[in-house]
A and B are shown apart, each in its own frame.
Chain A
């Protein structure tokens, strides 16, 4: 795949977001346009929220892929999704549906903090240990989740919808007020740390020799990625695949330099999730499909095409 400059990529991405937002506001279950309530209180905030969630997940994905030097890392590797899911399902089972975002956020961050503590050995947090601890805590959370699902079948529908990711909710403006700053802050911190991220690509030791305070940078980046992911998950449930493919796509487009790649990544993530959510509420008219299923179904083949082209070009 041919690389392009980051300016054209950004412009194309922003144009795509604008187009999706326009269509999302104009069209919905009740047809073209609609009452003011539907336009400004349902469709617009929902589309903006989807864009913000997409930007946060893509940015977090780029951070974790850089941190772990692994293009297969995604925002959920350090246990955020497992912890957040456990928190959200607890809220659903307790009947506290209004508390889902808070429970999910706390659960997601709690899991990452646990992982970080477990992986810390004599003041250092080796990347391999961090991954393994994340995997273990994630497995523990998902096993607990399975047991809760089995024993609380009454809430099955609500739980599944949340686990598959969905923007079906009442207070989209309210959640956007949290989500948009979280996404922007994560992007700002990541861009500020992009030199460190670039040096991480050379390996931890090399980065240290080149003057990076490795442990500090790791802690900052991990916290940033975790907060962005936890905010995204608490807004819309678990939307898979975005955090995995978008950074790879951005890298294929503008190259691996994080200074250029991160903004493109955020913009593409926003466009992708906003589009996927529009599809989720439009494919079956009047019904809501889980957006996470759409991102995976549409994203996987698209990603394969990009990979194939990249391999052919190399």
Chain B
């Protein structure tokens, strides 16, 4: 398939990126990348990158996404180029002048795409602070600087507003945030862990190896008896279906199921997740009207 794709490139349409004038930009890691002066056709191979491009106001330039790209809803209507395994031929056929991706999720895919002569911009926000920076970078890349700046500063303002409200809390409630039924938990190094901390909570999962998607021991969760148990996935069994749930402090509260898009992936929706969690943990820090 790779050979076929190269063939199409060679005889079919040529390599538009080579003809168009280019400029050099720097990504968040400081690496330099050559991109067309005018980016017109973007293919995203990672759902969070899709969301970031839309946030930057450049959603209309996106011509290909993965089947996992369901947010924003407009993204779901764009041509599909595969899931975790992309179809290189489909990508090349879309004649993109820029691929948006992530190093941590798609390193091999990125290498393949570069081998096909495509330009790959990686967005790997490591923290909430990086999200605003990523949106601004995309605004710069796509020429949508104003929209991107508005979105980025709106995101940064929402985050800092929460931080301001919870900065003096005395009690930081313990939280167990479940990312899948296996069970996997938000653990150090994962986005959900940062959200818990910023919302004025304490993650009960402190084991660093848990961040590598190793299933967490349910016994550990029971023994740490978190004040809040939050589910950010759709797969049974949920914590309230498991042995020992009724003995937890959290079982006395309502069952909390939050949108995983607001907790698990590095996108601007994290601001909503952060607000939701902070309101839950510290209702006293928010006015009646914004509850």
Binding site for B on A (CB under 8 A): 28-31, 34-35, 37-38, 41-43, 95, 97-98, 150, 153-155, 157-158, 161, 166, 168, 170-172, 281, 284-289
A98 lies within 8 A of B237 (CB): yes
A residues near B270, Cβ cutoff 8 Å: none
A residues near B241, Cβ cutoff 8 Å: 170
User: When A and B form their complex, which 7 residue pairs have the shortest distance between CB atoms, in order from nearest?
Assistant: A30-B223, A29-B217, A29-B220, A288-B215, A37-B244, A287-B214, A286-B220
CA distance A30 to B220 in the complex (A): 5
Number of interface residues of B (CB under 8 A): 33
A41 lies within 8 A of B236 (CB): no
Interface positions, chain B 211-230, Cβ under 8 Å from A, are: 213-220, 222-224
B215 lies within 8 A of A287 (CB): yes
CA distance A161 to B150 in the complex (A): 44
With A95-B236, A286-B220 known as contacts, the answer to whether A41 contacts B243 (CB < 8 A) is yes
CA distance A161 to B183 in the complex (A): 11
CA distance A161 to B84 in the complex (A): 19
Considering only CB atoms, which chain A residue lies closest to B212 in the complex? A287
With A95-B236, A284-B209, A287-B209 known as contacts, the answer to whether A38 contacts B214 (CB < 8 A) is no
CA distance A37 to B219 in the complex (A): 9
Interface positions, chain B 176-231, Cβ under 8 Å from A, are: 180-184, 205, 207, 209-210, 213-220, 222-224
Interface status of B235 (Cβ within 8 A of chain A): yes
CA distance A166 to B214 in the complex (A): 12
B residues near A161, Cβ cutoff 8 Å: 182, 215
- The contact string, 1 if C-beta is below 8 Å from chain A, for chain B 73-114, is 000000000011100000000000000000000000000000
A residues near B205, Cβ cutoff 8 Å: 286
CA distance A158 to B234 in the complex (A): 13
CA distance A98 to B243 in the complex (A): 14
B residues near A97, Cβ cutoff 8 Å: 181, 235-237
CB B241 to nearest CB in A, in angstroms, measures: 6
Considering only CB atoms, which chain B residue lies closest to A28 in the complex? B219
With A42-B244, A95-B236, A285-B207 known as contacts, the answer to whether A37 contacts B222 (CB < 8 A) is yes
Interface status of B3 (Cβ within 8 A of chain A): no
A35 lies within 8 A of B235 (CB): no
Considering only CB atoms, which chain A residue lies closest to B225 in the complex? A35
A residues near B236, Cβ cutoff 8 Å: 95, 97-98
Q: Known pairs A41-B243, A284-B209, A288-B214. 12 more at Cβ < 8 A?
A: A30-B222, A34-B219, A42-B244, A153-B84, A168-B183, A168-B215, A168-B218, A170-B237, A284-B214, A285-B207, A287-B215, A287-B216
Considering only CB atoms, which chain B residue lies closest to A289 in the complex? B214
Among B184, B210, B213, B219, contact of A42 (Cβ-Cβ < 8 Å):
B219
A residues near B83, Cβ cutoff 8 Å: 153
CA distance A297 to B252 in the complex (A): 43
Interface positions, chain B 58-79, Cβ under 8 Å from A, are: 68
CB A146 to nearest CB in B, in angstroms, measures: 12
A35 lies within 8 A of B247 (CB): yes
Interface status of B242 (Cβ within 8 A of chain A): yes
With A168-B182, A170-B242 known as contacts, the answer to whether A281 contacts B217 (CB < 8 A) is yes
19 A-B contacts, Cβ less than 8 Å apart?
A29-B223, A30-B223, A35-B247, A37-B222, A38-B244, A42-B218, A97-B236, A98-B237, A150-B85, A153-B84, A157-B182, A158-B180, A166-B215, A168-B183, A285-B207, A286-B205, A286-B210, A287-B209, A287-B216
Considering only CB atoms, which chain A residue lies closest to B247 in the complex? A37
A residues near B247, Cβ cutoff 8 Å: 35, 37
Among B68, B184, B207, contact of A286 (Cβ-Cβ < 8 Å):
B207
B residues near A31, Cβ cutoff 8 Å: 223
B235 lies within 8 A of A158 (CB): yes
CB A111 to nearest CB in B, in angstroms, measures: 26
CA distance A285 to B216 in the complex (A): 9
CB B221 to nearest CB in A, in angstroms, measures: 9
Considering only CB atoms, which chain B residue lies closest to A96 in the complex? B236
CA distance A72 to B184 in the complex (A): 37
A288 lies within 8 A of B180 (CB): no
